[in-house]
């Protein structure tokens, strides 16, 4: 009876932990294989523990060149998509104009369109326009599908924001620029950062659209796909583990900063009342 009651009280947490474990299992396998010395290039079983893969992550120069190229493409696409998507989100949430409903539908189209269709469509567009495929066609393609995710993420943050905070700042004689810089931007910034991280992840990880519009340019996913036919080097697992660790660190730092800000807002001020966050 006690065991049944304990399970009844905690079954949601147990299911959540099982789901999280299921999602984390492939990541743990990749992390474990990053310390593996395989018996052959086509073997993926754990053969022998070694740190050589981490000491020499660029043992395969072509792989590191592909990683750098993917980071460059992801950074440029993220900056452009974040700026455009944030401006579009502000326009859609804060303003009423003709065609607003149609634009909302168009924003969701790149998210709903299969990547195969989008990749072939962009390829046909570039070929008909006489644009040679390469680095910049990949950037343009990545910006096109990353903008939609940025708009949706920033819109969700703007929709849940309390407009009375901005109105109170302007009632206290703050200008529109001061209100935006001191009130609006700090409140929306977590959503913008989350959208940028999502856009970079999507750009760095994309293969199908990139494969159609890359020409002779090789990104990291394309390198992994090509290497899979002749044996993936173990350094690929090192890059994957390192990217996951960096993303986890950024999320942890963001959560820690938010927790400290909330704790500081609840600390009593000189008058004994909780401090108000600016």
Q: What is the pLDDT of residues 93-115, one digit of tens each?
A: 888 888 778 888 888 888 888 88
> Residue 260 pLDDT more than 80?
no
261/18: higher pLDDT: 18
Could you count the other beta carbons within 10 Å of the beta carbon of residue 161?
16
25/48: higher pLDDT: 25
Average pLDDT of the chain is 84
Positive/negative CA dihedral, 37, 39, 43, 45? negative
Q: Identify the pLDDT of residue 256.
A: 77
Average confidence (pLDDT) over 269-274:
53
Domain boundaries of the chain, sorted by first residue:
67-255
Among 41-55, 77-91, 180-194, 207-221, which is the least confidently predicted range? 41-55
CB-count exposure of residue 205 (10 Å: 0-12, 13-18, 19+): middle
C-alpha angle 23/26/27, rounded to 5°? 90
What tokens appear for 133 in the block? 């495929």
> Residue 234 pLDDT more than 80?
yes
Nearest to 217 by CA among 126, 109, 152: 126
Chosen CATH of 67-255 out of 1.10.8.80, 1.10.260.40, 3.50.50.60, 1.10.3720.10:
1.10.3720.10
**Model confidence pLDDT, tens digit, residues 108-136:** 888 888 889 999 999 999 999 999 999 99
Residues 6+ apart with CB under 8 A from 258: 190
CB 239 within 8 A of CB 67: yes
Among 48-57, 180-189, 261-270, which is the least confidently predicted range? 261-270
Residues 6+ apart with CB under 8 A from 66: 218, 219, 220, 222, 223
- Helix 100-112 / helix 135-159 crossing angle, nearest 10 deg: 120
Residues in a beta bridge with 36: 49
pTM, rounded to two decimals: 0.81
**Model confidence pLDDT, tens digit, residues 33-88:** 888 888 777 667 777 888 888 888 887 778 889 999 999 999 999 999 999 999 99
């Amino acid at each position: 009876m006690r065991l049944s009651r304990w399970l009844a009280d905690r079954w949601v947490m147990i299911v959540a932990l099982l789901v999280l474990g299921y999602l984390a299992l492939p990541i743990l396998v990749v992390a474990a294989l990053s310390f593996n010395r395989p018996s052959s290039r086509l073997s993926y079983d754990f053969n022998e523990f070694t740190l050589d893969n981490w000491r020499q992550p660029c043992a395969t120069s072509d792989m590191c060149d592909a990683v750098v190229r993917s980071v460059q493409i992801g950074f440029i696409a993220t900056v452009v998509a974040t700026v455009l998507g944030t401006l579009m989100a502000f326009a859609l949430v804060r303003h009423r104009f003709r065609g607003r409903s149609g634009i909302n539908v168009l924003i969701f189209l790149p998210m709903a369109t299969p990547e195969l269709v989008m990749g072939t469509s962009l390829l046909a567009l570039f070929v008909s326009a006489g644009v040679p495929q390469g680095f910049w066609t990949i950037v343009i393609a990545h910006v096109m599908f990353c903008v939609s995710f940025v708009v949706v993420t920033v819109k969700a943050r703007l929709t849940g924001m309390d407009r009375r905070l901005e109105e109170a700042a302007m009632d206290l004689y703050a200008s529109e620029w001061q209100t935006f810089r001191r009130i609006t931007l700090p409140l929306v910034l977590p959503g913008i950062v989350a959208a940028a991280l999502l856009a970079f992840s999507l750009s760095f990880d994309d293969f199908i659209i990139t494969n159609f519009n890359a020409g002779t340019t090789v990104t990291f996913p394309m390198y992994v796909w090509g290497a899979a036919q002749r044996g993936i080097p173990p350094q690929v697992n090192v890059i994957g583990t390192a990217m996951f660790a960096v993303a986890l660190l950024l999320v942890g730092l963001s959560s820690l900063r938010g927790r400290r800000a909330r704790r500081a807002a609840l600390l009593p001020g000189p008058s004994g009342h909780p401090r108000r966050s600016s």
